[in-house]
Amino acid sequence: MLIREFYLKKIRDFYDVNSLIKILCGLRRSGKSVILKQIIDEIKEKGIDDAHIIYINFESLDYADITTAIELNNYIKSKVKDQKTYYVFLDEVQKVKDFEKAINSLRITDQFSIFITGSNSKMTFIELSTDLSGRYVSFRVNPLSFKEVVELTNTPKEKYLDLLLDIFEWGTLPQRFMFDNISSRENYILDVYDSILLKDIVDRLKITDITTFNKILQYVLETETREFSTSNVLEFLERNNNKIANDTLYKYLDALCTTFIVNRVYRYDINGKNVLKSLNKFYATDLGVKKIKTNSRKTNYSQAFENIIYNELINKGYNVYVGKTPKGEIDFIASKNEDVKYIQACYDMSNEETRNREFNAFIDIDDSYPKYVISKDTEDYSRDGIKHINIFDFLILLHLSINMR
């Protein structure tokens, strides 16, 4: 089994902090439940017995009768036999009505260390805000990173490019690596999407016009990495006989983001030093979901390359923006505290004209933050104080602090 140490390392310091709820959120099937079980294993290694560990998966029929906050509160308290700490793990807890009230009731006793998972960001950040404001820490769980996939598949270095191209096609949802057959992979990823559609989009967010929703998703995924225009998507829908109001479009886009299907990236005006809310971009959380929800038969390597770099930056805890310059844009501004970096993503820079275009993108930036171009090329094209990084050095070694200073 792949140990997801990247996430365990982040969460470990909070195992015994009873005053804070630990929330794991992210795309369905991205590995949240597995991480919960790995946390349980670590807690047991510390000497905690099974009697002090309460695990409930609300997608199991075994717990179908727990539907309200009172029922959840009573069930957990019925397991308490002494004054020691009990470790409570609630998987997909949003199925329980007013669950946050039960969690807060348990939290204030200071006898429970509570971990919850959910597949909807509004569940974690909005519904909890009233009862648990300032009383939780959240961790976003994404599909596997390239480095995790290398470990899972035991891929040697000389096969990294083949693996990268496979990820461009099929993404990195953990269980998809169980399937060698293309049809099986497609069916699995489609099942993941259908689960999101039914459980999160229809049941939870009450969106019922699935045809229009899917059309919007198709447009967003097919045009990702490009500036997003509301008028363009409305025209696209009208051409496909799906005319909708602006407010409905915004609602559907919000649903795509809150269920972690896509990520919205805002533009940052480098000269004006402010975030722009218009002409933002979207990136897929998983490229496999993108493949099965678009009509394109041929993978766009440039888009996929940019997408995987964005996902890796998010994995590493960076806030990511698209950089607006007076004459164009920078693919990414990655910031973490006082650490800021400018990054261009280019799949293949073997052509001199392409190299000039990528390096010249920085020409209007006059501050001293470091600048990088990432590509699959193994030859070092660094110049003019701009560092060229090979994609596999970025994905495997990546700490933008190691080789990117």
The closest of 186, 191, 172, 169 to 2, measured between CA atoms, is 172
Give the H/E segment covering residue 360. helix 352-360
The string over 373-403, giving b where at least 16 C-beta atoms fall within 10 Å of a residue's C-beta and e elsewhere, is: bbbbbeeebeeeebbbbbbbebbeebebeee
Pairing of strands 21-25, 53-57: unpaired
The DSSP symbol for 363 reads T
Q: The tokens 């200073």 sit on which residue?
A: 405
Predicted pLDDT at 240: 84
Q: What is the C-alpha separation between 173 and 144, in angstroms, rounded? A: 6
- φ, ψ (nearest 5 deg) of residue 7: -85, -40
pLDDT (mean) for 271-283: 81
Backbone φ, ψ for residue 332 (5° rounding): -140, 140
- Domains of the chain listed by start with CATH number: 5-140 (3.40.50.300), 144-405 (no CATH)
The 8-class DSSP code of residue 109 comes to T
pTM of the model: 0.91
Helix axes 230-239, 246-258, angle to 10 degrees: 100
Which of the four pLDDT bands, split at 50, 70 and 90, describes residue 404?
A: very low
pLDDT at 199 (0 to 100): 86
pLDDT band per the 50, 70, 90 thresholds, residue 403: very low
Beta-carbon contacts of residue 230 (< 8 Å; ≥ 6 apart): 246, 249
Angle, helices 210-222 vs 246-258, to 10°: value is: 70
Rounded Cα distance between 274 and 204, Å, is: 34
CA angle (257 as vertex; 97, 4 as ends), nearest 5: 80
Note the pLDDT of residue 401: 47
Q: Provide the pLDDT for residue 130.
A: 62
pLDDT digits (tens, 9 = 90+) for 183-194: 999 999 999 999
pLDDT surpasses 70 at 237 = yes
Instruction: Let me know: does 321 contact 336? Beta carbons within 8 Å.
Output: no
pLDDT exceeds 50 at position 405: no
